[in-house]
Structure 1
Amino acid sequence: MMENEANAKPATSTSRFSRLLNAIFPRMPDFYGLLDDQSALAVRATAELVAFMETGDEVRAREVRRLEHEGDKLKARNIDLLHRSFSTPFDREDIHRAITAIDDGLNYAKTTVREMEILEVEPDARMLEMARFLHQGATALQSGFGKLKSGPSEAERDADAVRKAERRAEKAYRRAIAELFDPQQYARDLAERCKEPGEDLGLLLEPMDRVACGAVVQGLSFVLEALKRREVYRHLSNASDHMAHAGDILHDIVVKSG
Structure 2
Amino acid sequence: MLFGKLLPREGNFFALFNAHAEAIVAGSRAFQSLIQNYGDAILREKYAAEVDGAEHAADKITAEVNRLLHKTFITPIDREQIHSLINAMDDILDLLQDTSETLALYDVRHVTEEVNRLADLSVKCCERVAHAVSLLSQLSKHAVAEATVKTCAEIDSLESDADRVMRSAMSKLFREEADIRELIKLKAIYEQLESITDKCEDVANLIEGIVLENS
Give the TM-score normalised by the residue count of structure 2: 0.89
Question: Larger Cα Rg: Structure 1 or Structure 2?
Answer: 1
CA contact (8 A) 1:54 1:123 kept: no
Counterpart residue number, 1:154: 147
Q: Distance in 2 between matches of 1:92 and 1:152?
A: 20
Q: Distance in 2 between matches of 1:131 and 1:91?
A: 33
1:32 maps to amino acid? F
**Pairwise CA distance, 1:62:** 1.4
Q: Distance in 2 between matches of 1:71 and 1:236?
A: 19
Counterpart residue number, 1:254: 211
**Pairwise CA distance, 1:124:** 2.1
CA contact (8 A) 1:28 1:85 kept: yes
Where do residues 43-82 of structure 1 align in structure 2 (5 Å cutoff)? 43-56=25-38, 57-82=44-69
CA contact (8 A) 2:10 2:72 kept: yes
Q: How many residues align?
A: 203
Task: Structure 2 unaligned segments of length 5 or more: list them.
Answer: 39-43, 139-143
* CA RMSD of superposed structures (Å): 1.6
Q: Distance in 1 between matches of 2:19 and 2:13?
A: 10
Counterpart residue number, 2:129: 141
Task: Structure 1 unaligned segments of length 5 or more: list them.
Answer: 1-17, 187-218
1:49 maps to amino acid? F
Q: Distance in 2 between matches of 1:166 and 1:37?
A: 23
Q: 3-state DSSP class of the match of 2:67?
A: helix
**Pairwise CA distance, 1:152:** 2.8
Where do residues 7-86 of structure 1 align in structure 2 (5 Å cutoff)? 24-56=6-38, 57-86=44-73
Counterpart residue number, 1:4: none
Q: Distance in 2 between matches of 1:83 and 1:174?
A: 43
- Of the three residues 171, 181, 186, the one matched with 2:174 is 181
Where do residues 100-179 of structure 1 align in structure 2 (5 Å cutoff)? 100-121=87-108, 122-150=110-138, 151-179=144-172
Give the fraction of aligned pairs with identical amino acids, expressed as a percent.
23
> Deviation digits for residues 135-171 of structure 1, max 9, x if unmatched?
1111111111111222333211111111111111111
